Structure 1
Amino acid sequence: MSPPLPHRRRLVVAVTLLAVLGGAPAAAGPDTAAGIDRTYAPPADDAPAGLVYSGLSADRTGACAGLFRVVGISNTMCTHGPDPAPAGLDVKRSVAPLPARKATAAAPSALAVCEGDGTSGRRVEVLYVRGSTSRYSQYLETFRQLAEQVDVIFNESARATGGERHVRYVTENVGGQCRPVVRDVQIPDAALNANDWAPLLNAVKAAGYTRTDRKYLQFVDARVYCGIGGFAGDTRKSDANRSNSGPEYARADSGCWTAGVAAHELGHTLGAVNNNAPNASGAAHCVDEYDVMCYKDGPNVVLRYSCPNQALDNRLDCNHDDYYHTDPPAGSYLAQYYNVADNLFLIKGGGTNPPPPSSNLALSATASASYTSAWESVLAINDGIDPPSSNDTVNRRWGTWPNTGQQWAELTWSSAQQVRVADVYFFDDNGGVRLPASWSLQYWNGSAYVAVPGASGYPIALNQYNRTTFTSVSTTRLRVVLNSGAGSVGLLEVKVTS
């Protein structure tokens, strides 16, 4: 993530601050200790460079010792602080959209490797975060390509050490290819444009993006930062390392919508670069250039060009000794301390490319409903989150309390879809919302809603998906109709396949 020699970025004074605060961060533990000394102020903001420290506390004890803590959010979140824009980019000038690519054998316009159903397990989920103005349709292809380029950076870096690693994204089928899902997340304009990360984080969390098995790669339609990412600073070589859990957030604003910036900030959330690494800068970066994670991040930092090929500026850990190696030598630093190549959000090996028939078409639909309780969200039904149980208290839910009788939830597509299978997960809190007495599927035939033909049946069971198959139909709308029984009704997730 480095501009050409001799000058790379505007300097960040965080490294001096970290030296004052006492070095490496604590290995683990919530920030709950009484009497934590937070008297050290962050550097002054440099807004034109995207170096916005407002809302960050420089902690010298607790979970974020030696780092910054994001103030004003419910759970402790640490960060290395903001990164300035690489040469050629301007925080205050949005990058242009990328043109659509034509797939070739050498450069497919899709992810080279996907895994499983595209939603289960630890995954990186791509978010387009915007206010009242949307550029989602204009930049959707750009965001997909940038996420795919990030995957190339991670895998080509792994290949340099004789291995294979891919980013395990939340994925969907697009034109017969496996591509990253890009969520369109609208938040209040004031939160989007705040000179403080916390309002945006709180708004994104309020929209439901809080899963502990997610890293959220945010393309933010604002001009506040270049990039900033969460960073645990945990050096333990263990699956329990805090870099192996979420929710965690990486942010790139519109002036820095590039694969290099996205890979850099995502790299921080995955654990790069710990301050006890051989070539660490002391502020979560490295000093042996060229490298995605290296740059001069403080006035006293001296860079070394031990990897002089500037093409390595789009690769991880150019000497494979600081934070990323798929098979580190015995006794080496990465054989003893945390190694990003071991991160559980990465696919180790070839993975599996699910065939198009298994693609969940619901992910690309717009959800609506007959009625939604004020504290629930109809967006729950196609957000791609597999519920842990029918009484899910962590993720979004759609419910109709106190309304009873016949209710419905609907998926609408912008173009006709060929559908023949639906999997429905019911919401039941053992209180006001209970399993339905019965349910059915209807589709829009162009003039009216009619029952899907040849339905195999409509099972009703707790804590699992309930599947029905039917004669394939082409439609732009599919409706789940629920008839209440002992209470109001609700859904946690609906999957639709062809």
Structure 2
Amino acid sequence: MPGSVPARRRLARGSTTRIAVAVLAALGLVGVSAFAGTALADDGAGRRADLTAVPANDAAKGLVYDGLQRRPAGPCGAGLLEVKGTSPVMCTHGPDAVPAGLSVKSSVPALTAAPPAAAAQSLAVCEGDGTSGRRVEVLYIHGSTSRYTQYLETFRTLAEGVDTIFNESAKETGGERHVRYVTETVNGVCRPVVRNVQIADAALNANDWAPLLNAVKAAGYTRTDRKYLQFVDANVYCGIGGLAGDTRKSDANRSNSGPEYARADNGCWSAGVAAHELGHTLGAVNNNAPNASGYGHCTDEWDVMCYKDGDNVVIRTVCANRSHDDRLDCNHDDYYSTNPPAGSYLSQYYNVADNLFLIKGPGGGNPQPDSNLARSATPSASYTSAWESVAAINDGIDPPSSNDTVNPRWGTWPNSGQQWAELTWSANQTLRRAQVYLFDDNQGIDVPSSWKLQYWTGSAYADVPGASGYPVTANAYITVTFTQVSTARLRVVLQSNGTSSVGLLEVKAYAS
């Protein structure tokens, strides 16, 4: 991207104990035991390492570990760190070292806005109304001194540079992916919104991420359908990002939800650093990946997410072209491919190219027509029991049975008669197929006597045309195909059986 700074980190973190633990974990040799109050790893040869150890700070490299802790039995497991003092618990791979050419203690220069006669810069692809659904929201975070006006063009351009990195990398496997930003129209073109967020100087400059995170949350940036890309006007870190460490190949993967936060401080305001930290929040790099370092990165260069992040980590040059340092996933076998081969790691485990915060184009292994469009819709209902949740109908969780007692459900007890639940999108969707999973708890909520699908024509609801049928089946998805419709709303209408109530566990919608 014109004016962007090459963005990589090349310095090791330097913790022999931590490296040893990760190697043992990767080999499946870690056994946690208690010894003098400390969790230890045993490699089978009598050697023990502290599983709770956190590396020492190296502030010049942006490696600040204050406020981070390791709890192998906690929500982040043995492979990640916890940010102390945040709720809910936030997991992270830890801080990233500053790349060559940048300095944690020196702010990058601001870009100048393009002259009026120049062609307006724009995101390559924007979607919908710019705010609805899962989106990445860019935040400029500062204290009592603000440089928002001076750096606004810089932040927009860097965010657009992140989008370029994701899409150019998708093209390498025949696909198309764009970051779904919160957007606005600027000089007639679509550009990322940059929020101006002021917090206390003490929280901004703390050698601990938690005070800043808590201040940003207090300012209202807590949406579960947001990843927050933070450009922070401080000189503490180079970058740091949340990482769920969830390897499940499912829309329910924790990397598909928020709020989650990626941070780049002013010495590392660059497209590459921003793409790296955002990449962590989107699920890169899981520690069971083929070329994983064990700390959220990869070891096969050149690659945005790869670098030597520990003393004993060995880096191999697999993609010889150094320009791939600004692209994702060398050979597309670790964390990002739009067309993973059958039987490969990415065909079986989580793939960042499937992340629901990305706009999926027509090419590649997970094209939009085959994706579950319900995940990007807003659910609503005629009535919801106080202890149930209408959000359950499109949370992406496949129920184990119609009497699912573990996951969220939508139910209407004690109401009977006709009830409905619907999905609403910010723009019309092309639909030809839906799947519905009925709720039946044998305690007042039963499968309906009948049900059907309706769509919004723009002025009224109508039954979907050419429906293949509406069987009443428990403990399985019911698939209904119909003549293609273009609509912003899809409704499931259920008629209760006598005096019983009705409910749904999941609704999926597809373009084909």
Moved over 4 A (4+): 1-4, 35-39, 102-105, 386-389
**Hey, what does 2:209 align to over in structure 1?**
197
- The answer (yes or no) to whether the contact 1:2–1:295 under 8 Å persists in 2 is no
CA distance in 2, matches of 1:104, 1:274: 46
Question: 1:63, CA displacement in angstroms?
Answer: 1.8
String of CA shifts for 1:386-415, please: whole Å, max 9, x gaps: 9989xxxxxxxxxxxxxxxxxxxxxxxxxx
Query: Within 5 Å, which residues of 2 pair with 1:460-471?
Result: none
Whether the aligned pair in 1 keeps the contact of 2:291 and 2:334 (CA below 8 Å) is yes
Map 1:387-466; keep pairs closer than 5 Å. Answer: none
TM-score by length of 1: 0.65
1:328 aligns with 2:328: no
Whether the 8 Å CA contact 1:70–1:78 is kept in 2: the answer is yes
Shift in Å at residue 348 of structure 1? 0.3
- Report the counterpart of residue 153 of structure 2 in structure 1: 141
1:159 is matched with: 171
Aligned residue in 2 for 1:74: 87
Equivalent-residue separation in structure 1 for 2:59 and 2:94 (angstroms): 13
Contact 1:230–1:268 at 8 Å: present in 2 too?
yes
2:96 is matched with which residue? 83
Report Cα offsets for 1:186-210 as digits up to 9, x if no partner: 0000000000000000000000000
Correspondence for 2:293: 281
Residue in 1 that maps onto 2:12 = 11
Aligned partners of 1:14 and 1:210: how far apart in 2? 33
Query: What letter is aligned with 1:166?
Result: H
Structure 2 partner of 1:369: none
Relative to 1, partners in 2 of residues 1:187 and 1:40: Cα closer, same or farther, differing over 3 Å?
A: same
- Correspondence list, 1:247-258, <5 A: 247-258=259-270
Identity of aligned residues (%): 74
Q: Conserved in 2, the CA contact under 8 Å of 1:59 and 1:69?
A: yes
User: 2:314 aligns to what SS in structure 1?
Assistant: coil
The correspondence of residues 172-321 of structure 1 with structure 2, limited to 5 A, is 172-321=184-333
CA contact (8 A) 1:287 1:302 kept: yes
After superposition, the C-alpha distances for 1:56-109 in whole angstroms (9 at most, x for unaligned) are 00121222112110000111100000001110000000000012246999x861
Check whether the contact 1:2–1:86 (CA below 8 A) recurs between aligned residues: no
Aligned residue for 1:115, secondary structure, equals coil
Does the aligned pair in 2 maintain the 1:16–1:298 contact within 8 Å?
no
What is the deviation of 1:110?
1.1
1:186 partner letter: Q
State the 1:17 CA deviation: 1.3
Structure 1 residues 54 and 331: CA distance shift in structure 2, 3 A: same
SS at match of 2:136: strand
Q: In the TM superposition, what is the alpha-carbon distance from 1:178 to its structure 2 partner?
A: 0.3
TM-score, structure 2 as length reference: 0.63
1:3 and 1:261 map into 2 onto residues whose CA distance is 8
Give the number of aligned pairs: 344
| Structure-1 separation of matches of 2:9 and 2:134 | 34
Cα contact 2:19–2:311 (8 A) shared by 1: no
Shift of residue 23, structure 1, vs aligned partner: 2.7
SS of the residue corresponding to residue 332 of structure 2 reads coil
Aligned equivalents of 2:80, 2:63: Cα separation in 1:
15
Cα pair 2:21 2:51 within 8 Å, conserved: no
2:144 is paired with a residue whose SS is: coil
After superposition, residues 75-154 of structure 1 pair within 5 angstroms as: 75-101=88-114, 109-154=121-166
Cα distance in 2 between the residues matched to 1:108 and 1:161: 29
**SS of residue paired to 2:106:** coil
Structure 2: runs of 5+ lacking an equivalent:
29-36, 40-49, 364-377, 382-512
Taking structure 1 as reference, are residues 284 and 103 closer, same or farther at Cα in structure 2, changes over 3 Å only?
farther
Per the TM alignment, residue 20 of structure 1 is displaced from its structure 2 partner at its CA by: 2.2
Q: Describe the superposition over 1:309-365 as per-residue Cα deviations: whole angstroms up to 9, x where unpaired.
A: 1100000002110000001110000000000000000000179xxxxxxxxxxxxxx
Cα distance in 1, alignment partners of residues 93 and 312 from structure 2: 17
3-state secondary structure, aligned to 2:82: strand
Other-structure match for 2:465: none
Among 23, 26, 29, which residue is 2:25 paired with? 23
CA 14–151 in structure 1, closer or farther in 2 if over 3 Å, else same = farther
Q: 1:41 Cα deviation (Å)?
A: 3.0
Query: Taking structure 1 as reference, are residues 102 and 278 closer, same or farther at Cα in structure 2, changes over 3 Å only?
Result: farther
> Using the alignment, how far apart are the partners of 2:172 and 2:116 within structure 1?
25
Q: Distance in 1 between matches of 2:297 and 2:221?
A: 27
Tell me if structure 1 keeps the 8 A contact 2:241–2:278. yes
Residue 341 of structure 1 corresponds to which residue in structure 2?
353
Separation in 1 of the partners of 2:21 and 2:230?
31
Selected match of 1:42 from 35, 42, 54? 54
Q: Is the 8 A contact 1:127 1:183 kept in 2?
A: yes
* CA displacement, residues 119-171 of structure 1 (integer Å, 9 cap, x when unaligned): 00000000000000000000000000000000000000000100000000000
Does the 8 Å contact 1:124/1:216 carry over to 2? yes
Note if contact 1:123-1:168 (Cα within 8 Å) is conserved in structure 2.
Answer: yes
Alpha-carbon distance in structure 2 between the residues aligned to 1:12 and 1:192: 23
Relative to structure 2, which stretch is displaced further, 327-336 or 59-68?
Answer: 59-68
1:3-34 CA-to-partner distances (Å, cap 9, x unmatched) read 89xx962211368516426636x9xxxxxxxx
SS of the counterpart of 1:91? coil
CA distance 1:350–1:209, shift in 2 (3 Å): farther
Q: Assess, with a 3 A threshold, how the Cα gap between structure 1 residues 315 and 199 changes in structure 2: closer, same or farther.
A: same
- Taking structure 1 as reference, are residues 388 and 253 closer, same or farther at Cα in structure 2, changes over 3 Å only? farther
Q: Amino acid of the residue matched to residue 265 of structure 1?
A: E
How many angstroms apart in 2 are the aligned matches of 1:113 and 1:104? 23
Letter matched to residue 97 of structure 1: A
Where structure 1 has 5 or more consecutive residues not aligned to the other structure, the ranges are 27-34, 352-385, 390-498
